[in-house]
Amino acid sequence: MVTKKIGLLLSDEDDWPVAFEQLHHRLSPRLSYHGDTLTTVVERIRIHPFSLRAGTSYHLVIDRLAWWHFHPREWLKKAALINGVYLLNNPFTFQSMEKHSAYCAMIRLGFPIPETWLIPTKIGPDTEKFRRTAARYHDLFDLPAIARQIGYPLYMKPFDGGGWRGVSRIGNEWELMAAYDASGQTMMHLQQGLENYDVFTRALAIGPQVKLFHYDPTQPMHARYLVDENFLPPDKAREATATVKIINAFFRWEFNSCESILKNGVLHPIDFANACPDVAIISLHYYFPWAIKSLMAWSLFCLATDRRMQLDMNTRDYFAIADSDRSFEEKLAAYEALADRYFETERFFEWRARELPHLDEAMWELAQSPEFDDMLVHNVRLIFPPHEHAYFIEHFRGLIRAWVQAEAAD
Going by C-alpha positions, the residue among 33, 36, 12, 16 that lies closest to residue 24 is: 16
pTM: 0.94
Q: Give pLDDT, residue 164.
A: 65
pLDDT one-digit tens code per residue, 336-355: 999 999 999 999 999 999 99
Mean pLDDT of the chain: 95
Which of the four pLDDT bands, split at 50, 70 and 90, describes residue 410? Answer: confident
Which of the four pLDDT bands, split at 50, 70 and 90, describes residue 409? Answer: confident
Average pLDDT of the segment spanning 226-232:
94
What is the percent of the chain with per-residue pLDDT over 90, rounded to a whole number?
90
Q: Is the pLDDT of residue 184 over 90?
A: yes
- For residues 266-283, one letter each, b for 16 or more C-beta atoms within 10 angstroms of the residue's C-beta and e for the rest, the string is ebbbbbbbbbbbbbbbbb
Distance CA 191, CA 218 (A): 18
pLDDT one-digit tens code per residue, 197-228: 999 999 999 999 999 999 999 999 999 999 99
Average pLDDT of the segment spanning 244-272:
95
Q: Give pLDDT, residue 245.
A: 97
- Are 144 and 176 within 8 A, CB to CB? yes
Q: Is the pLDDT of residue 323 over 80?
A: yes
Average pLDDT of the segment spanning 20-25:
98
- Which residues have C-beta within 8 Å of that of residue 243, sequence separation ≥ 6? 111, 203, 258, 260, 267, 269, 332
Which of the four pLDDT bands, split at 50, 70 and 90, describes residue 159? Answer: confident
Distance CA 404, CA 196 (A): 35
- Which residues have C-beta within 8 Å of that of residue 182, sequence separation ≥ 6? 168
Which of the four pLDDT bands, split at 50, 70 and 90, describes residue 391? Answer: very high
- Strands 209-215, 154-158: pairing kind: unpaired
Distance CA 277, CA 258 (A): 9
**Rounded to 5 degrees, what angle do the CA atoms 185, 186, 189 make?**
135
Q: Give pLDDT, residue 163.
A: 62
Task: Count the neighbouring beta carbons within 10 Å of the beta carbon of residue 26.
Answer: 17
Architecture per CATH, domain 2-96, reads as: 3-Layer(aba) Sandwich (3.40)
Q: Give pLDDT, residue 87.
A: 97
Q: Is the pLDDT of residue 328 over 80?
A: yes
Q: Give pLDDT, residue 123.
A: 93
CATH of region 115-192, choose from 3.40.50.10190, 3.30.1490.20, 3.40.50.620, 3.30.300.30: 3.30.1490.20
φ and ψ of 92, to 5 deg: -70, -45
Q: Is the pLDDT of residue 302 over 80?
A: yes
Which residue ranges make up each domain of the chain?
2-96, 115-192
Q: Give pLDDT, residue 162.
A: 65
Q: Is the pLDDT of residue 254 over 70?
A: yes
pLDDT one-digit tens code per residue, 36-90: 999 999 999 999 999 999 999 999 999 999 988 999 999 999 999 999 999 999 9
Distance CA 29, CA 355 (A): 9
- Strands 2-9, 60-63: pairing kind: parallel
What is the percent of the chain with per-residue pLDDT over 70, rounded to a whole number?
99
